[in-house]
Structure 1
């Protein structure tokens, strides 16, 4: 079964000869960066090897949340929520955004202790969040059987439609003067005098003074060909889309065996907290030492496997010339085969636990690759050894909601504007300067 149906964006026919900035990657991060730059009067070309938003930006859960994030991301997510609230009006298009609230059940005492810290933290950002007891939790989800003693309810959290958001933002960037180039892979960067001077695309060169790499799961490979080390791996996640369900809940929910959120069409996106598949590939060995802290703390939620992906990546070129076809032209869209085991289990548990979902019918199932860094925090950073080159990637499953904020920060760094949040935690150099690399969960 093919991936989700994304709102189509028609690419421009003409390739510009020169712009100020080339953004590589037409997901929500790249599109948001392009919109921010275009609104500031910066000439920009957004280059996407396939279609706008066709990889993980349209395949994620659709959550827009500030709760239960790495605390280092919270300031940027607060900025993102403020942007989401006016995004439909700003773009003149429907992104499906709604501030519906998200509930995280407390599975045990440790979970409860973690949940209890969030209302105070988020209160400092004027984001509504509170603990709820069993009667209120039962009121939010009438008839749902559960054994939670409490839950975290963050009313500031919300949802949007992944198949609509990146296209809406990209089209808005074009309204402001950006060039949108689809089915136009960037093969590599060019430099002059030690700094960025342009890019080479499959359709020809574009001169520019800055480049933003927002290539998602492809970013490490692109960087390697440019002589830049970017530690990044892929994690596959599968979701189910149901047909419309009458009387279903508005609030998004994350529980012990399932997670769900209402869709704009009346159906639900359902996923399993355990359905995170890690294919063993050559990069697994290349970056093993850097990812050890993550493996030690997150191994219970990861499913390692050896699959055909290993041979695919063995055969994939790691270096290529600018006059050669790149790997990005050979694979326009990453469309992995969905994993049925854990999503079937999640749906089965949901049907048993919550009568309103008893008759839920699967309309579609798809999978996508999440771009992950060793500390599960993104890289939004200049590359010091190549002036004019910036990276915005590695969002580790948190990219959809934070995307508009990440685009603003990336644009700030490119233009030299005072950054909307402190970018220190997102610097690329943290992986090489002796900084302690660790996953931080809770508050």
Structure 2
């Protein structure tokens, strides 16, 4: 079966004639935004070109972490941790969330110092996060073969099930009055008097006064058809899951060679701790200058590949009319072929570190496209040149855990109420106003 199994969400049969806000994209960001907006009393339509949570929102590691984030994301992620703690009760559904802790291992003095320095960003948040010595790590995991300087252990971090979370949030939004429309691509927006007046979907028009673009890896393409240049590229991450396995750690663990997370079914999600594949595509050249500072920091962890993906993306139209099928209707779900080499390498490293993994049986493999910005920080922002148009995209592999809080912040901006946190770091125009674009965190 290609891609992980995702809890199915059946879309509404009828298209609403008019709502207050249309949210484009049924990943965890779009679903969370729709939930927050409908709870604010607005009429909402959530439009997804394929199925709810079928792309990166169901293909990520399932980590709900504040540890080792870009410092600019820390205030928002602190709010996300609070939201996750009560989310299942609020939704009336199971997301698999559990506060089980996350461990970032330190192989040497340099890594230990880097993690220790980072941990100061959590001062004042009253979150359980501390440095462990190598001896303390060994006491926690006596069966481990890892020889470490120590680790950053954030007990406040947790995990959830990516294949359940976005569907649960979407269904709760529908319970509260939102329209949930699957296989309903938005082709474009309509304006009247210089501001948003509606959208055109493949199933017909919907009148509205605001639109939120939460299209994940597709956002740059959609924005480009509106004449909005959003610097965004894709990184492919490969994952495998095991069958239920006894004796493995409860905590999620990051090591440079592997990343593991216990699943609700007793199996584990396993991936490389740092290696990803970057397909060279036409936009790689278009945005090369914008991404050069990040590339200088992260090139060791990126495997560049020139292949058929270049041809596939070169064939995608970057301009289209709203009375003709859009690119989103020709490719409902991004489902790349995973790298067996990378995931096998990660599993072998996990086996060396934790003998229990020697008995692991691989149940499934998949890959997903992470949408990245030049500074690996998302855009959660109004788009000034089109009044009523907002964007929540570019989460750079950090979107799953922060998703519920990102949705609340986006709803704050749409409704013009006091924002959950200062949104300045997430503004869209940082790419054009002369701000220094800097990659701070590589995790």
Superposition deviation, residue 352 in structure 1: 2.1
2:109–2:149 CA contact under 8 A, matched in 1: no
**Secondary structure of the residue that 1:435 maps to in structure 2?**
coil
2:71–2:121 CA contact under 8 A, matched in 1: no
1:274–1:342 CA contact under 8 A, matched in 2: no
Which residue pairs with 1:409 in the alignment?
409
Which residue pairs with 2:341 in the alignment?
341
Alpha-carbon distance in 2 for matches of 1:441, 1:274? 13
Alpha-carbon distance in 1 for matches of 2:353, 2:39? 48
Which residue pairs with 1:163 in the alignment?
163
> For 1:229-282, what per-residue CA distance to the aligned partner results, in whole angstroms no more than 9, with x for missing partners?
100000000111000001221111001211101000000000002331110001
Which residue pairs with 1:48 in the alignment?
48
Superposition deviation, residue 351 in structure 1: 1.2
Which residue pairs with 1:11 in the alignment?
11
> For 1:346-381, what per-residue CA distance to the aligned partner results, in whole angstroms no more than 9, with x for missing partners?
111211221111111100000000000000000000
Which residue pairs with 2:93 in the alignment?
93
Which residue pairs with 1:173 in the alignment?
173
Equivalences for residues 228-239 of structure 1 within 5 A: 228-239=228-239
> For 1:405-440, what per-residue CA distance to the aligned partner results, in whole angstroms no more than 9, with x for missing partners?
100000000000100000000011000111100111
Superposition deviation, residue 156 in structure 1: 0.7
Alpha-carbon distance in 2 for matches of 1:121, 1:315? 44
> For 1:19-45, what per-residue CA distance to the aligned partner results, in whole angstroms no more than 9, with x for missing partners?
000000000000000000010101000
Query: RMSD value over aligned CA atoms?
Result: 1.1
1:100–1:155 CA contact under 8 A, matched in 2: yes
Q: TM-score, normalised by structure 2?
A: 0.99
**Secondary structure of the residue that 1:358 maps to in structure 2?**
helix
Which residue pairs with 2:105 in the alignment?
105
Structure 1 segments, 4+ long, off by >3 Å, are: none
Mean CA deviation greater in 124-133 or 409-418: 124-133
Which residue pairs with 2:310 in the alignment?
310
Alpha-carbon distance in 2 for matches of 1:216, 1:283? 16
Q: Which runs of 5+ in 2 are unaligned?
A: none
Which residue pairs with 1:242 in the alignment?
242
Alpha-carbon distance in 1 for matches of 2:438, 2:256? 25
Superposition deviation, residue 183 in structure 1: 0.4
Which residue pairs with 1:301 in the alignment?
301
Which residue pairs with 2:136 in the alignment?
136
**Secondary structure of the residue that 1:273 maps to in structure 2?**
coil
**Secondary structure of the residue that 2:359 maps to in structure 1?**
coil
Superposition deviation, residue 149 in structure 1: 1.2
> For 1:1-28, what per-residue CA distance to the aligned partner results, in whole angstroms no more than 9, with x for missing partners?
4100000001000000000000000000
**Secondary structure of the residue that 1:172 maps to in structure 2?**
helix
Alpha-carbon distance in 1 for matches of 2:438, 2:118? 20
2:256–2:274 CA contact under 8 A, matched in 1: no
**Secondary structure of the residue that 1:241 maps to in structure 2?**
strand
Q: TM-score, normalised by structure 1?
A: 0.99
Alpha-carbon distance in 2 for matches of 1:246, 1:231? 44
Q: Which runs of 5+ in 1 are unaligned?
A: none
Alpha-carbon distance in 2 for matches of 1:436, 1:348? 40
Alpha-carbon distance in 2 for matches of 1:31, 1:124? 30
Change in 2 beyond 3 A, CA 1:285/1:119: closer
Equivalences for residues 112-127 of structure 1 within 5 A: 112-127=112-127
Which residue pairs with 1:62 in the alignment?
62
Alpha-carbon distance in 2 for matches of 1:205, 1:256? 49
Which residue pairs with 1:361 in the alignment?
361
Aligned length: 443
Alpha-carbon distance in 1 for matches of 2:161, 2:123? 27
Alpha-carbon distance in 2 for matches of 1:197, 1:280? 37
Equivalences for residues 20-59 of structure 1 within 5 A: 20-59=20-59
